[in-house]
Structure 1
Amino acid sequence: MAARDYGQYDGITRALELVGERWALLIVRDLLVGPRRYGELAAGLPRIPSNILASRLKELQAVGVIRRMPRSRVVLYELTPYGRELEPVVLALGAWGFKAMGDPRDDQVVTADSMTIALRTAFRADVAESLPATAYAARLGPAELLIRVDGSRLAVDRGTGPADLDFTAGPDIRHLISGELAPARAIATGVVEVLRGPDELLDRFASTFHLAA
């Protein structure tokens, strides 16, 4: 049974009953990146109380959104096919919320999984199809990501690796992604620091990952 009952009968109400509890969609967001152990979910959501995380996982399992997958001595949580149907919903919410982000507070954190989903949200497959395959090694705050674009295909993995452009940036990179800041200006003002590779590839990155503010 859903933790909350709104007493109405329609699809939106039912969806909120299933995934509308606090933290539920952020758990779904992180599991869209890949299966996670309990400890990995807790580390990716550092402000979630352990009892709430346990409760949300049980609730999401009960309604068929996630499942437990025992692997050797480790239990992984992953989305079911029904749960993965939430991906376009989560990406649409991310695009909508991007318009109202503003400046980060001192107590707000960036995680590798949140940045992975942010990149999926901003990815413009239609633009990428006409561009050469490109790999980016990006240090976005504390998150180190290897971003590979090949036509309309996007792969984002934790860590580093061979890349055409290696760069680092803080939260102000959102001004580049929104189009408010030109790539050359982003480099000149220190919003983006190119560590290796031609500066011009940042133009390609900005074309490939774009969200209107």
Structure 2
Amino acid sequence: MSARSYGQFCGLARALDTVGDRWSLLIVRELLPGPMRYSELVASLGGIATNLLAGRLRSLESAGVIERRLGQAGGVTYALTPWGSQLREAIEALVGWSTPLMVSGRDSDSFQPRWLAVALPALLSGRTAKPPTELGIEVSGCFMTLRIDEDGPHVTVEPDRRPDTILEAEPEVVLGLAAGAITIAEALSAASVHGDRRVLMKVLPGARA
């Protein structure tokens, strides 16, 4: 038995034995949108020590949660295994649960636009659209497409094409709309919409006035 194990024959305890260490689930969050290089993980995670990151990556790889792959331009990237990708549901549930913790605002906390790719599907869970509707979102120089279709919400970071309607906003505005914490009118006073504003209201309905 590992010294770090809870030593309990319980699914939750064994899951925490595997991904419960500090930074482990945040590494999984980083990889949910797609593979990343080691240097990209260091930059995105911010406060993690490089030796700690290397240790967490080894541990997650040994457990079968992540794997190393050859990147398109050469070099090694880290990616979730199919089993590791199943953590999306648990992470999205925690993101949804965290809404009361987020209403106080960002303060001095760091933020990476890439994290919206995980947060938005979680906050918009259960929302569908037929026919599908797409909204481009630009935050801090990062572009992504939020698509709502009959299967629910999906986010693509740096897509091959851009939708006709694009929202340019700070992360607090995008998250506030998705969580229903602010109204469309409040969002538009602090953001820009290029295209059809009705798309914004269909995809990110915001709070009722």
TM range (shorter): 0.7 to 0.9
Distance 1:129 1:49 in 2: 43
Task: Find the counterpart in structure 2 of residue 54 from structure 1.
Answer: 54
- Where 1:118 maps in the other structure, the secondary structure is helix
Post-superposition, which runs of at least 4 consecutive aligned residues in structure 1 deviate over 6 A?
Answer: none
Count of aligned pairs: 203
The answer (yes or no) to whether the contact 2:129–2:148 under 8 Å persists in 1 is: no
Identity, % of aligned pairs?
A: 33
Matches within 5 A, 1:108-187: 108-125=109-126, 127-130=127-130, 132-152=131-151, 154-158=154-158, 161-170=161-170, 171-187=172-188
Determine the C-alpha separation between the residues in 2 that align with 1:160 and 1:85.
Answer: 26
By how many angstroms is 1:159 displaced? Answer: 6.1
> Normalised by the size of structure 1, how large is the TM-score?
0.83
**Runs of 5+ in structure 2 lacking a partner?**
none
Query: Which runs of no fewer than 5 residues in structure 1 stay unpaired?
Result: none
8 A contact 1:166–1:197 mirrored in 2: yes
Secondary structure of the residue that 1:99 maps to in structure 2? Answer: helix
1:180-195 alignment runs, 5 A limit: 180-187=181-188, 189-190=189-190, 192-194=191-193
Distance 1:89 1:37 in 2: 24
Measured on the aligned residues, the alpha-carbon RMSD in Å equals: 2.4
* Cα offset, 1:91, TM superposition: 0.8
Q: How far, CA to CA, are the matches of 2:177 and 2:201 in structure 1? A: 10
C-alpha deviation, 1:34, in angstroms: 0.9
2:99 maps to 98
Q: Is the 8 A contact 1:146 1:160 kept in 2?
A: no
Offset, 1:197: 0.8
TM-score (norm 2): 0.85
Taking a change above 3 Å as real, the CA distance of residues 61 and 180 of structure 1, as seen in their structure-2 partners, is: closer
| In structure 1, C-alpha distance between the alignment counterparts of 2:74 and 2:164, rounded to whole Å | 39
Aligned to 1:27: 27
